[in-house]
Structures are given as structure tokens and as C-alpha cells.
Amino acid sequence: MSEHNDPSTPAQPGSSKTDTTTPELAPPRASTEGTRVDNVFERLPAFGELSIDDLIERIDSNMNALRQICEQRREDPAEPTWQSLVIPLEHAKAELRAATSPARHLAAVNDTPALREAWQAASRRLSVFYTQLGQDRQLYEQFLALRQSTAFQSADPVQQRLVDKTLQDFTLGGVALEGEDRQRFVAIAERLTELKNLFSNHVLDATQGFSHAVDDRAGLAGLPDSVIDAAARRAEQAGRSGWLLGIDPPTYRAVMLNAHDRTLREHLYRAYVTRASTQGPGDPELDNGALMTEILALRHEQARLLGFEHYAALSLARKMAASAEEVFEFLHDLSARSRPLAEQQLQAIREHGARVHGIAELAPWDLAFCAESLRRERFELDQEALRAYFPVDRVLHGMFELIEDLFGVRVRVRESVAVWHPQVRFLDVMDADGHLLAGCYLDLYAREGKRGGAWMDECRPRIAFDSRRWLPVAYLTCNFSAPAENAPAQLTHDELTTLFHELGHCLHHMLTRIDLPSVGGLSGVEWDAVELPSQLLEYWCYEPQTLKACSAHVRSGEPLPDDMIERLQASRTFNGALDMLRQLEFGLFDLSLHARSATDLDVLEVLRTVREQISIVPYLAEDRLPHAFTHIFAGGYAAGYYSYKWAEVLAADAFSLFESEGLRSRETGLRLRQEILETGSTRSAMRSFEAFRGRPPRIDALLRHTGIT
């Protein structure tokens, strides 16, 4: 009944080398709760065997089962109790979540026209169902009666929290609406689901529909061999000679950072920033302009039906921040602190571009290239040179070693689990004694039919009540360059950081000790706190012991040398203020769209206004960033993109405790696990943070780690 529990809402997270794989660990034993290991994963999706009809039938069947549970509750004249009301609903809701996840996930990582059509139809049905469930007045009154009962006053705090959050979900779901307003609210929810799917699909199709042909290898100067080889394979598959470059994330980033040919950078940049718009090179039918306008208008109408001034107020009702005004103040304060240093950093890039590359006036497609060139000059560091030190399997080895040191959990590959692509691996997550805690699908590489970016999503929640025993299972998805024929997949340091980030999200889901799915893992956690574990884990990507453990040069096997580690650490705050302004721009744009009462917003005008206030870098007049901003138009970050910076304050402050108590302190790591990773949403995120840190969060550590103070 909350947006985090609605499976129709998008979430918003093998190498040929054999000598650097994850270490062999003892086979997992039965969990401390008595779960038999051979039953733990028996109901995982049979990827490769499930037809589209099977996927959709499971959703519809479990939706009907939950509907029947609700009907039984309405017809039961007895006073509601925890066992009679909450437990059956938790069972049925968890079954529906688990039934929905395979279709939702495959639509994101293995898109086909048939699956897309089937998932879009199913997600609309789910949206209507969840909206109607959130407006079920009889169920609401039963939860209210349970809340007001004598037994409730002495109930377990976790049970009290679940009931209170459920009542809030009913309220925000429109349970008080009557007549036409109620019907309109349902219609809006259904239409928004449809629009978000369309928006995401347009971005995917526009991205994968673009290619740029290069006939002379000299035009690829500066690009990594792995990117050049992939472009050659793409051209061969298309039946032509030469090279074909796309704007998929690994290729686009490599070109922007490394391509010597300024015209090539400009061509790909223009294609990328005009995706899914009439300004782009693709199909004009993929334009997202009208979709954005309708999405914003419907969100505003939805908020007004519930009595909120604007959608931001509705969104913030489930977040740590108290009001849009508080968030605006937070973002503007960070902007004011960052701008002076950001201007100095931009000037240094301009001067470097003119001196080294002869670029008299910095264009948008020069910024990343000149910044990376300056980084190489200043720190003698090259992201592509670093790549050779980070073969994927060695990175996984070091990453798993870190979480064992911090949290007392171990990881091993399980070979017998069905997957949707040969490159996907399944991981067992165990405690120090070998008791199985969770599972995780690892899907790291970009391919056709897979949407861009990196994300974590839930496959299955944790359940442990009555006779039901499930351990949590996650999906960890990235879009790194795949292994070549004769070389393992390798990561840049930035990509390594992305992988650690998504693992942080997965740990939040997998290490929960809460047996009730509605308040376990990430479910119900305030959206501006969900990035805390993910951004916290990024800090170890600069820590020498972790860098040594994650590195082994693909030819020599040597770990990253000490002098390179020192230079990498020194470069950590490079352009930190400039990067800060970029993220603040996104956050202010998002909030400015959603914290207004007007329904006839000019999206591009709002963006121009925000950029005039905060941005100092050059932009194209035809830039259509909003048309591909899936975080806020197709994901869970509407009126919530600020959450990245909000949670970054929490993460930096949390890491400062490790800095004072030991970067690999098991005691501090177990405290983090106990107070934050295990607790789900059974208490407020602020209470969990204070239980770990011993006080409210402070901004000092973030400013220090970004070089602003």
C-alpha cells in the first residue's frame, strides 16, 4: 500500500580469470531460524523456463489470492487481531511481491516487444489493485480498531510500527476519498503507471536505437582498446566494416572522457543529451515531452485530491525532511558553500583545455574530456590505466572480504540457480558460522535489451512467521563493459565505486532481521535515507586495504601500487565542488517541478531558471536532459532526488565514526549492521542513525570529504 511496496513501481540497483575468483568457503548450513538450506531457494524464479504467460499468470493468481484474503477479512465479524488481520495480509502481500519481481526485472534486463506489452498491461492492473487496496475502508477500519485495542498498547514495537505505517499508507492512498474523487484517484494511479513505463521505454529505445559509424581508426584515438573492440564487434554484427559507437553508458562515458576527436565527442554528446526528444536523432515518436507534462499534472492533481498543496508535500510525507522549504534551504546552503570553489575548479579546467588541447572556449562536450585530462596531469592518474588493475572477479573478492571484515558475512557463488543470461551469477550470503542469510543475483554487463544505469531491486523479501520461512533475495544490476574474448571484464575506479554503491543497497535488503516484509529491508524506509548504506560503502573504495584486495593487474597479477593509491586518494576531492553543483542542480530542478501548484509547467523553462541560479558550466540550447531523467519521471525519486545529497550527509558522518574507531572495526561495523541494516523501517531513519552515531547527523564530514572545507 506504500509506493515502496508497490511492485509495479520501478526501484530506484563471469570472467575468464579463475585465479582471482571469490574464495572457496564452507558450504552454507541451516539458518539459525531452522530453515532447511535445500528449501531456501526452491521457490526462486525458474529463469529460462518461465514463459511470458507463466510470469503474468503468477502475478494475476497471487493478486486474486490477496483479493480473497481481503474479502475474508471484510466478512469476519470478530474483532481484528494481529494473527487474524495482519499475518494473513503479510503472507499474501509477500507472495504477490515475489510473483511480480521476475516480470518487472526481466522487463528491465531482457526487454522484448512481447514481454514489454505483457508487463505494461500487468503493471496497470497492479496499479489499480494496489490503489483500490489502499482505499479499502473496511480494511482501514479494521487496522484502526486494532490500533485502538487494549492489546495493541502492549504489543511489540515492531508490530505497532507496522500498524501505524499501514494506517499512514491508507491515508496517503486516498482511503477518505468519496465518489468521483475516489474513482479519479484510481484512474490517475493507473495512468501514471502507464506513463512511467512509456517514459522508461522511450529512453531505452532512443538510447539503443542510436549508432555512429567510424571508418578510420584514427578517429578513435584515445579510446580504450576494450571500447574499440566492442565497437568493431557491433559493426560486424550490423554487417558493415569499421566501428559503430553507441550511447550506452560504458561507451558514452569512455568517449566523453577519452576521445581525442572533438567532433566525435560533440556528435555523441548531442545525441545523448537530446535522447527521447524531438531534438534528438532518433524516432520523433519516442519524444517524452508530452509525457512529462501529463505526469506532472497528474501528480499535482493526485496531491490536491489528498489535501496537499503540491506533489512535493505529498512525497515528503514519507521522508525524513519535514517540508519542501527545508529541502530548498538545504540545497541552496550546499550550493552557496560549493560555488566559490567550483568556479575555481572550472577555471582550472578552462585553462588546461586552452593550454594543452588548444580549446579557446570550452564547449559542453569538452568539459569531461578536459577535466579528465587535467586529472591525469595533476595526479598522473588515468581511469583507463587503472582499469587493468581491477578485473571484475578480483574486485568481487576484495569487496566480499570487506563486508566480511565489517559485518561478519561471507559470500560464495552458487552454481545451481537458474538465471536469465549466462553472465549472471547467484551469490549465497552467510554469517560467520556458515548459516545462510540471503541470496543475490549479480548481473554486471551491458547488453541489448537491458536498460542503462545501475540499480538494486528486490527478488523476494524476508519472512519468518508461522510456518513460512523465506530468506531475502536481491538483484544487483550494472552496465559495465562485458569481457572480451581473450580478456576478463575490467572496471574503472568509478565503476568499482558504482558496484560498491549497489552492494550497499543490497546489504540493506539482505541483512534485515525483520520478519515482516512490510517493514523489513528497504520497505517503508524514508526515501531520503535509503542511500545511506550505498553511499557509505563507497568510502572504502579509496581505502588502501580495500584497493589492494580489489586489485590484481590483468597481466602481472600485482595489486595497485602504493604510489598509485596515494595519488588516487589525493584525487578524491578533485572537482568535488563542481560535481556537487551538478547534483544540486538535479535536486533543485526536481523539487522545483513538484513544489508548485501550477499544472501547466514549462519543464524546460524550470530547468533554465534553475541553471541560471546554480549552474556555472556550459549547456546546449537544445539540451533535453528532462526527457531522459528516468529517476524522477519513471522511478521512485519524484520530489526526492535531493535524497542523494541528504543521505550523503548521513553517510559521510557515519564514515567519520569508522575513521575514528578503525576503518575495518568489526565492532563499529556490527553496530551499523544492528542499528541500520537490520532494522528496516521498524523505527524512523533518524532514530536508527542516532542509535548508530550517538547523536544527530552533522554536515562537516561531507564538506571535508568533498574538499569544500
- What is the model's pLDDT at position 41? 63
- What is the model's pLDDT at position 33? 43
| All cell numbers assigned to 314 | 505529498
Query: pLDDT at residue 34 above 80?
Result: no
Query: pLDDT at residue 7 above 70?
Result: no
Span 244-287, pLDDT tens digits = 999 999 999 999 999 999 999 999 999 999 999 999 998 999 99
| Residue 128 near residue 8, CB atoms below 8 Å | no
Q: What contacts 346, CB < 8 A, 6 or more positions away?
A: 578, 616, 617
| All cell numbers assigned to 539 | 568510502
- What is the model's pLDDT at position 14? 31
- What is the model's pLDDT at position 593? 98
Residue 18 pLDDT class (50, 70, 90 cuts): very low
| All cell numbers assigned to 528 | 531520503
Q: Which residue has the higher pLDDT, 5 or 233?
A: 233
Paired with 412 in beta bridges are 428
Query: pLDDT at residue 240 above 90?
Result: yes
Span 156-183, pLDDT tens digits = 999 999 999 999 999 999 999 999 999 9
DSSP conformation letters of 282-329? S-GGG--HHHHHHHHHHHHHHHHHTT-SSHHHHHHTTSSS--HHHHHH
Virtual CA dihedral for 227, 228, 229, 230, nearest 10 degrees?
50
Span 635-660, pLDDT tens digits = 999 999 999 999 999 999 999 999 99
Query: pLDDT at residue 549 above 80?
Result: yes
Give the global pTM: 0.91
Q: Where are the beta strands (DSSP E) in 361-472?
A: 409-414, 425-431, 436-445, 455-460, 463-465, 468-470
Span 332-375, pLDDT tens digits = 999 999 999 999 999 999 999 999 999 999 999 999 999 999 99
| CA distances (Å), origin 390, targets 73, 383, 412 | 55, 11, 19
- What is the model's pLDDT at position 383? 83
| All cell numbers assigned to 555 | 597481466
User: 3-state SS string over 371-393?
Assistant: HHHHHHHHHCCCHHHHHCCCEHH
Q: Helix axis angle, 157-172 relative to 113-134, nearest 10°?
A: 100
Residue 17 pLDDT class (50, 70, 90 cuts): very low
Q: Helix axis angle, 52-75 relative to 87-109, nearest 10°?
A: 160
- What is the model's pLDDT at position 385? 87
Tell me the C-alpha distance between 412 and 414, whole Å.
6
| Residue 260 near residue 221, CB atoms below 8 Å | yes
Over residues 130-157, mean pLDDT: 96
Virtual CA dihedral for 533, 536, 538, 544, nearest 10 degrees?
-130
Query: pLDDT at residue 615 above 70?
Result: yes
DSSP state of 560: P
Span 51-110, pLDDT tens digits = 999 999 999 999 999 999 999 999 999 999 999 999 999 999 999 999 999 999 999 999
Q: Does the active-site annotation cover 361?
A: no
Q: Which stretch of DSSP H or E encloses residue 695? A: none
DSSP three-state, residue 525: coil
| Residue 372 near residue 257, CB atoms below 8 Å | yes
| Residue 607 near residue 620, CB atoms below 8 Å | no
Span 449-504, pLDDT tens digits = 999 999 999 999 999 877 778 999 999 999 999 998 888 999 999 999 999 999 99
Q: Which of 401, 404, 502, 531 is catalytic?
A: 502
Backbone angles phi, psi at 226, to 5 degrees: -65, -35
Residue 42 pLDDT class (50, 70, 90 cuts): low
Tell me the C-alpha distance between 552 and 490, whole Å.
10
- What is the model's pLDDT at position 469? 87
Span 575-604, pLDDT tens digits = 999 999 999 999 999 999 999 877 678 999
Tell me the C-alpha distance between 591 and 240, whole Å.
46
Q: Where are the beta strands (DSSP E) in 230-284?
A: 243-245
Selection from 330, 334, 272 nearest residue 591 by Cα: 330
| Residue 679 near residue 523, CB atoms below 8 Å | no
Instruction: Share the mean pLDDT of the chain.
Output: 93
DSSP three-state, residue 413: strand
